[in-house]
Amino acid sequence: MTRILWRVLLAVALPVLLLAIWWLRTDGSTNFYSPPLREILATFTEVWTVERMRADVLPSLLRLAGGYAVAALVGVGLGVLVGSFRTVRAVLEPVLEFFRAVPPPVLVPIIMLFAGIDHTMKVVVIAAGCVWPILLNTVEGVRAIDEVLADTARSYGLTGPARLRHLVLRSASPQIAAGMRQALSIGIILMVISEMFAASNGLGFTIVQFQRSFAIPEMWTGILLLGLLGFALSVIFRYVETRALAWYHGLRRAQRSS
Which CATH number belongs to the domain containing residue 58 in this structure?
1.10.3720.10
Q: Of the spans 7-11, 161-165, 205-209, 244-248, which averages the highest pLDDT?
A: 205-209
Return d(Cα 18, Cα 31) in angstroms, integer.
20
Number of structural domains found in the chain: 1
Asked if residues 126 and 183 have their Cβ atoms less than 8 Å apart, the reply is no
Q: What pLDDT shows up at residue 60?
A: 94
Q: Which residues contact 36 (CB under 8 A, 6 or more apart)?
A: 23, 26, 27, 28, 29
In contact, 201 and 56? CB cutoff 8 Å: yes
For the whole model, what pTM was predicted?
0.89
What range defines the domain where residue 176 resides? 51-257
Whether 5 is in a domain gets the answer no
Question: What's the mean pLDDT in 87-103?
Answer: 84
Question: Is residue 161 in some structural domain?
Answer: yes
Query: Which of the four pLDDT bands, split at 50, 70 and 90, describes residue 94?
Result: confident
Predicted pLDDT of residue 15: 82
Task: Confirm whether 44 is domain-assigned.
Answer: no
Whether the CB-CB separation of 124 and 63 falls below 8 Å is answered with no
In a domain, 164, yes or no: yes
